Structure 1
Amino acid sequence: MDVIRVLVADDEPLVRFGLRALLDTADDITVVGEARDGAEALARTHELAPHVVVTDLRMPGMDGLTLTQQLTALPNPPKVLVLTTFDTSDGVRKAMQAGAGGYLLKDAPPEQVLGAVRLVMEGGIVLAPASAARRSPPPRPRAAHPRGSPSNSAAVWRASASSRRRSSSTWHRGTPTRRSPSACT
């Protein structure tokens, strides 16, 4: 796949504008549409066939959780990345149970958002640092990183695309990478 097609769903026009501006800076990502709420996002998904939907949790009308459930029930569902201001255990749990591939906070650095879109597209799971710390035990100590210490600006819990079972998942701290899950152990 050459270009990742993204639909942005958020009730705040400035947030949609900013996300479009950010995502369109990447050569491998293009924003194909925007939506003000979940119902509009669902309709635009049928119309535009995005690969990834970046959605807020709280929107008027159909919220992001309901949208995520409906999107993941489609025959060829897009991947879903939740981008929100609400960092609650309940929100993370519900979003992941609904089928979201990632949960980031709106204060995430731009490069983390770009990396999260790519990683979710590949079938990985991305969680905001505090959210990841609540979901999983801390990572095991490991040998020194070959290129120095990885950044602690993001916590990424990687799982194979074929299985999200804890026994086959891998924890990796740092910026999302394209390494295979087995390379992170």
Structure 2
Amino acid sequence: MNTLSYVLLCMLARKSCTGYELKQYMELFWQAHHSQIYTVLGKMEAEGYVQFEADPDTTKKIYSLTDKGVQAVSDWVLEDTPEPISRDEFLAKIYVIALMDKNTVVQLFNDRRRHYKKRATINKPKLAELEILQKDPTRKEEWRNSFGRYLIVKRRDDLCTQELEWCDWAEDLYHSSFDKI
């Protein structure tokens, strides 16, 4: 199985989902197209890792793990995790900042800030919703099932804050270093 297969199994370990819901949840840490997700789900269903029920109200399939899928996730989480793959076009551009004029530099940093501010506005309500679960003693099981998601959303929110701070620092350093040249 490929890594996307294991990621989907992990999502389903939390709760049964449609393919659309899986894509939504995965966007916190993994990028995949709907076509990839449905192709992998079909293969995993054929191999006995997942099963589905047709939603009687819609034409959607709701996927869940089989015992074989649970075992596959349990085995996979014990394997060594490889170094994360990082591809950031912005950083490639910043690498050649010395070739840019001041307006281009300012625009790059402003674009980056806009991106992370937008991402932060998406993360904040999710984080607040999950923190309500954390504080509600009547929803302990729901909190337990959402704990991994909370950790990821919190990390994403922290990364947005750090990236915005870094942009301010880097742009200030650029201006203090090169505005007088």
Tell which structure's C-alpha radius of gyration is larger. 2
Asked if these proteins are the same fold (TM beyond 0.5), I'd say no
Please give the TM-score of this superposition, normalised by the length of structure 2.
0.25
Hey, which of these two has a bigger chunk of strand by percent?
A: 1
Hey, which of these two has a bigger chunk of helix by percent?
A: 2
Please give the TM-score of this superposition, normalised by the length of structure 1.
0.25
